[in-house]
Structure 1
């Protein structure tokens, strides 16, 4: 799990085209207002694919940012993220 979170954290420095919701770290999230959580489950793909899906789902919820709070990969990904406005 630590490796998974590290991979997702490293991806936070990459830009993601037209995605409005940005991946933030714990320090950055301290200055933002929490707006709930989202989860993805049973998703196949690379960490960048998961990040794109999280960003899209956060956008749909009206969030400007999200932070991954749980991630695991048991043949498919399960990821939970906190949303921020």
Structure 2
């Protein structure tokens, strides 16, 4: 009867361990989803995407950057959204 008791204990420990692992996986999955939902990882802003999507604005930005590299100021940057 002792070996039957040990076998039942082993099965119970296995089931509880498996259940614990499943619960931990679920907790970490929910935590990851929560972090992903609350953290913005956008490198380019919405306004930046609009500029890059518009060919004329994109060319104006390129000219403003080239002007900055030559002159050291961002005077042309304000003309992009005109």
TM-score (norm 1): 0.22
TM-score (norm 2): 0.23
Q: Which has the larger helix fraction?
A: 2
Q: Which has the larger strand fraction?
A: 1
